[in-house]
Structure 1
Amino acid sequence: MSTSSSKLIILDRDGVINEDSDDYVKSVDEWIPLPGSLEAIALLNQAGYQIAIATNQSGLSRGFFTIGDLHAMHNKMDALLKPLGGRIDSIFFCPHQDSHQCDCRKPAPGMMKEIALRYKKIGSTQPLTGVPIVGDSLRDLEAGVVLGAAPHLVLTGKGEKTLAKGKLPEGTQIHADLLAFANALLENKA
């Protein structure tokens, strides 16, 4: 089955879909959806969009939680989305810390390259051209913009601080939260 990036949206996780924590989101109990975020994903799915998550999860290599804990958090997200008619199509995560200097930890574009490969949008220096990337930090946006993604900053999580710091990629659109992003995107497509 061939997938296409023409109806793809890339989301960060912590601070966009669920509450963020400076002490890391380490367990199912700590994984708490932000108001309206799951409804936003369901709306986007029902409009034909596929949702890919790209998330830095250095808590794994730091020993704050296990891969089993991470899967349990994602299973909880899936279980909460299902009754709303929503789903996540793929989850990409980087388990490394900045000191590992990997290519997958945002703002490096490694995860975005993997997403482009998965969704068969390859063969170009800008394989994610026009694909919305939604994050609450500069590094989320930078990782996708390198490959042509359209940056969208939400003001949840670290979004307010990110906006205050400035230096956002050119053309960044600002949204109160994920539901505001979804509504704006769907209104513009109507």
Structure 2
Amino acid sequence: MKTLPRIRTEHLDLVPATVKILESDLHDHARLARLLDARVPFAWPPGGMNDEVLTEFIRMATEKTDPFFAGWYWVLDTPVAEDRVLVGCGGIASALNMPETVLVGYAVLDEYQGRGYATDAIRHLIPGIFADRRITRIVATTWPDHGASIRVLEKNGFVCTGITLPGQGLEDGTIGYMLEKRG
């Protein structure tokens, strides 16, 4: 995994997911809180971020098997907030059988959904993703009934590509979205 930039948005501090942070997420949330300088809610992790996924991320980061693998932990950090709190995460990985393409994924804890954090984070990640000259498109998949996730993608310029076929998405029956680099 290459050295990733820390990204600040109006509400979020997007902290690069190092191997140490990923291992702490898997084994020691107290250490994760220290590394992020943020409170880790009891409900952490959000849906989709289970032990199997984290173990695979750790493997990919350690073995450097995916040249595009990168991730960030999303910490809510605003002047009006009582404390810094971990609210979500997101990242990219190579899309299978699609050169110059990365797959973006993201998740937000239920209690922090509907506040624009995912839209904000993805909006700020896109320029950094496309700064890598090897990447010309970003794809994502979501379930047809996940309206909030669809809105995140559409607000960030992604275009629906339709129902994914077996082997195209993370799971059959999802719908695909794509954003291509301009210029």
- TM above 0.5: no
Greater relative contact order (CA < 8 Å, ≥ 6 in sequence): 1
Q: Normalized against structure 2, the TM-score is what?
A: 0.33
Higher normalized strand content (fraction of residues): 2
Higher normalized helix content (fraction of residues): 1
Q: Normalized against structure 1, the TM-score is what?
A: 0.32
